[in-house]
Amino acid sequence: MEQILKNFFLFMGKNKVATKMAKKYGLRFGAGRFVAGASLESTLETIRKLNEEGLEVTIDHLGEFVDNEEETNEMTNHCIEAIKSIANQGLNSQLSLKLTSMGLDISRELVIRNMKRIMEVADSYDVFVTIDMEDEARCQATIDIFKELKSQYDNIGTVLQSYLYRTVEDIQDLDSLNPNLRLVKGAYKESPSVAFPQKKDVDENFKKIIKMHLLNGNYTAIATHDDAMIAYTKELVKEHNIPLDQFEFQMLYGIRIDAQRKLRDEGYTMRVYVPYGKDWYGYFMRRLAERPANVAFVLKGIFGK
C-alpha cells in the first residue's frame, strides 16, 4: 500500500492541471505544514523566528513547469530580491533554487544568463546559493552548469542523490572543485536502469557518499530525517576527527522539529530547508510520496479546524 501511495503522489506531482488548480486555490489542505507561505515577506519572518531558535536556513522560492522566458525572468528577479532582503535584514539564510525555474528546459543560454545575474548579486551580498538537483534526466545538465558557475563563483553548491547509480562517480568527478554539496537520498520516481530500486541499497550508497565527501575534506550537508544516517554521520566524524565546521545537518521545514532542536542543542549546525511561494503543489506531493504517513497531517489540516 505504501508503494502504491508513493507512486500516486509522484504521479500527481507531475500533473500540470492539478498544479494550476493548486496555484489558484492557495496553500490549503495541509500544505502549510511544509511550506512557509506564499510571499517573501512572510517567509522572512519565518527565517527570523528560526534564527532566534538557533537554526540556520535555506529558502527556496518554489517553481514547477516553467516553460517561457518571461516566467524565468520573474523567478530570477524574485531570487535577487530574496538575496538582498536576507542580507539587508541580517538573516542567517542561504538560497536554494532549481535550474528548471531558471530556464533549463528552454535553453542553456537562458539558464546561464539568469544564474549569472543571481550569482553576481549573491556574491556582492555574501549569500550562498545551492542548485537543487531534480530528476535524473536533468542531472548531467545540472552538474555541467554547476561546474561552469563554480569556476567563477565560490559561494555556490549543488546536490547529489544517493539513489542514483552514478553518484559515486559524480563525487569523484567534482572533488577537484572542492565543492560544497548537499547529499540526499532522492525524491523523484526513477527507472531501475538509473536508480537503486531497494531502500537498503539507497541507504548504503548514502553512507558511502557521505564518507567519501567528508574524507575528501569538503564541506558536506547531510540532508536527512533518518536517525540511522544521523547516527552514522556522528560516529564517522568522531572516528576521523572531522571538525564540526566541515559539515551540517539539514531537514525540511515542518518535519521532525524536535529532532532539529536536538541536533542544535548537541552543538551541530542545523539548517532548515524552507520552501515558499504559490507554486507549492509539486513540492508538496513529493513530501507526501517520501512519507505517506504525512497524509495524516493533511487530513488534520482539512478537518481539524
Catalytic residue among 135, 182, 203, 287: 182
Confidence at residue 9, expressed as pLDDT on a 0 to 100 scale: 47
Q: Which helix (H) or strand (E) holds 115?
A: helix 108-125
Residue 47: give its domain's CATH number.
3.20.20.220
How many domains does the chain contain in total?
1
Confidence at residue 35, expressed as pLDDT on a 0 to 100 scale: 80
3 is a domain residue: no
17 is a domain residue: no
Side chain identity at residue 118, one-letter code: I
Distance of alpha carbon 123 from alpha carbon 105, whole angstroms? 26
Distance of alpha carbon 91 from alpha carbon 56, whole angstroms? 9
Give, as one character, the DSSP assignment of residue 126.
T
Query: Is 132 annotated as catalytic?
Result: yes
CA 192 to chain centre: 23
18 is a domain residue: no
Query: Is 182 annotated as catalytic?
Result: yes
Per the CB < 8 A criterion, the answer to whether 86 and 45 are in contact is no
Q: pLDDT digit string (tens) for 238-259?
A: 999 999 999 999 998 988 899 9
Q: pLDDT digit string (tens) for 55-88?
A: 999 999 987 668 899 999 999 999 999 999 999 9
Q: pLDDT digit string (tens) for 118-157?
A: 999 999 999 999 999 999 999 999 999 999 999 999 999 9
Whether 29 shows a pLDDT value over 80: the answer reads no
12 is a domain residue: no
* Residue 8: pLDDT band with limits 50, 70, 90: very low
Confidence at residue 32, expressed as pLDDT on a 0 to 100 scale: 59
Catalytic residue among 60, 132, 170, 279: 132
Q: What percent of the chain has pLDDT over 70?
A: 80
Distance of alpha carbon 303 from alpha carbon 305, whole angstroms? 6
> Which residue range(s) make up the domain with 115?
36-279
What is the gyration radius of the CA atoms in the chain, in angstroms?
Answer: 18
- Supply the mean pLDDT for the chain: 87
267 is a domain residue: yes
Mark 10-48 as b/e (b = at least 16 C-beta within 10 Å): bebbbeeeebeebeeeebeebbbbbbbbbebeebbebbe
